[in-house]
Structure 1
Amino acid sequence: MTRSGAFWGVAGRALFGVRARLRWVHLVLGGALLMPFWLVGTVVVGPVVGADGVFSESPALQFGAYAVALPLAATAAALFPLTRPLSVSVARALTGVPAERFAEGPARSRAARVRTSAWFTLHAGLGALVSGASLALPPFAVSLMLVPFFPGLRDSLRLSGHQAWQLALLPVAGIGMLLALAACSAAAGALLARRAPLLLGPTPADRLAAAERRATELAERNRLARELHDSVGHALSAVTLQAGAARKVLDTDVEFVREALAAIEETARRTVGELDSVLGLLRQDDDAGGPPVTTGPALDALDGLLSRSGVPVALNVDGELAAVPATVSREAYRIVQEGLSNALRHAGRSPVSLWITVHGKKVEVTMENPLPDRAPVERPGGGRGVRGITERAALLGGRAEAGPDGAVWRLSARLPLDGRR
């Protein structure tokens, strides 16, 4: 293809392609939106210019009503928050602008309403001009193109006195008018497409609100991930250890195998209940208002957790566990549960020492187990348990840490009873 052919191909698509046609439809819709305000403008301007009626052909009436309609449209758009989502829906479908560049939801802030008002006014104002030209210009242009072939049209267009060469140029003038109309429509559509992300895109307040929503969703996902990791992960570790120990003595110690199977059954039963509680969080009705409902076992269920943990645990309690608030008690239970899971994974059936101290305005949890002879194998994606313990403590205003201390692995957490540091 030659350069000239490529140029005319690009020009043809710019003026008459699918995108240009969709943008023309978008402009016509804008003209239709301005029509009610224009009619109000004719009522206001008509008596001033002495027009015969609302649909008078007086240019003073037409453009005077247009001048009155624009501020009316701007005011109406600013007063209704739903103007933005409606404008976004139409612009997204017809302007060719990517959907992610538009804002979501009604215009709540003052800046968003001002931008929406500016967009609505620009859309309706340009749309009215293009719509009016699209109605008036094509019939006139076609008439000019037909004048050389239909002499009767010369009288109606008052062209009877023109010479033949002048009449021969009229079709060229008609085609030029249609091309000019297409060019103006394409230019107006391109202008709206360039301004759409600025006027209908998210404001700083919208971006902040979206970031807060994402942070809330992420926090909820992390909370559910911690619940599943601590409850199901611990149960699987205990079941794996019990099953492995039973397999090794299957032929020599039937009583131990029976006890191991009973422990596996009890662990599975309790885990199903905990899993139901965690899945219940997913079905929680956030529209009911108030904070999320706290579910799951707490420190009062600690004896059952220790008995089926699969490792010998020496428990030392100082203070009243019943005095620990429900939320703090539940998080402390999960911390102990995750500590036992870590001990099972890395130290096998080595004994664990657990101290829980309730005094003043805090509860302290400390766990120790001997370090294994060999360094534990790093698992892909491992480390979530310790990170989850740290997050749980931080959410309550406390702190937690875990790591080797001499010959033992120590986990310690301090949780304020009132949720403050």
Structure 2
Amino acid sequence: MRIERIELQNFRGFTSRTFEFAPSFNVLIGDNGTGKTAILDALSIGAGAIFLGLDGASPPGIHRDEVRRVTHGLGEVPSLEAIYPAKITCHGIIEDTPLEWSRTLEGPNKHTTHGGASELARIATTWNEQVRAGEEIILPLISYYGTGRLWLQRRAQRSGARVLRPGSRLRGYQGCLDPASDLKGFVSWFKTMELIQLQKGQKLGTLDAVKHAIRKCLRGWDEVLYDLRLGSLVVRNKDKQLPFEMLSDGVRNILAMVGNIAYRAATLNPHLREQAPSRTPGLVLIDEIDLHLHPLWQREVVDDLRSVFPALQFVATTHSPFIIQSLRENELINLDDPARETLPSRSIEDITEEVMGVEVPQRSHRHQEMMAAARAYYEALEAAKGARGARLEALKRRMDELSAPFSDDVAYHAFLEMQRRAAKLPGDEE
């Protein structure tokens, strides 16, 4: 399963907009409020249409609060009106065949329509029947990781992990479109597999594959396991061992997300055994992929995910120039200016300035303000040399105003004062 294009009509802040996606990695950038998360939400509704014919999760629909609204100022109090229909249309590849499907909300008292996705639902119903018959079909993975994933992880930690009983392969879809990573399900699966491995006295290829995926993305750590004594996931390197709850937010973020993707792949496609993470296709949505990551990790996370899950299509958002720098051609979607493109050879400064629109990224904003204030100060100083009376006093006040915000910078403030004294303005103390 892969989505090549999505068309949005009256969805969130979009009147009518089309976005195209690369088969491997896609990163959305733009200022706050430009609609990055809205696109991820639309993709989750579009891709989630497979649950119209597939057990394991409920098909998400378009909510009334996701319908575009316009303001009308007909009286003293403006009104806010919803504009219908709200529609999401996907063009993608299902089982190597091009397919178009749509979901529509036609009014405030309506439900999201199913008819536009009937062909996709029919295909998913066939998958359902094949799973029940025990056929070795490859199911697509769908998963959504939102910005609240770490907070929801903390809630999951308190509930502990249980041993999983045998269940359907479709359990790999449970909670997959909730923007929180399903830490509890992953840890329970991990614990169960460790116990089975212990009981059998031999390694399980599926568990090894999931561990490999985590190690590949968890830089600086050599091993991950479930410690029965601590009742927790534990990571180790040559110097130390730490339980999951004592790890930094950045490490927890990567461990839980990568582990969750790998465990879902293994659950959906157990017949692939150790190849489940590398051969499972599907769509993964990640809001703020750089969440809590050090710049060193930001530079590597895209290539790590691409390497560990080569059959998956990723769509992520970011505000990090390091993430942008790691992309390949046609993998960037710039909501501020679609014409702006980037290449891996660009410097961080070039990306920040030319792609993200930040002026003079080499200098801090405060430094730029100080330089502008100094230029204005010198202009006022030159003008004051020949001034008299009220104009002279006004220029002196202007110089005081310009230097006041930077009085905490002793050297800068003293330099301006020395320049002022050297000019010997009338009325200034010697």
Per the TM superposition, whether the score is higher than 0.5 is: no
Give the TM-score of the pair, scaled to structure 2. 0.25
Structure number with greater CO (CA < 8 Å, separation at least 6) is 2
Structure having the larger proportion of residues in strand? 2
Structure having the larger proportion of residues in helix? 1
- Greater C-alpha radius of gyration: 1
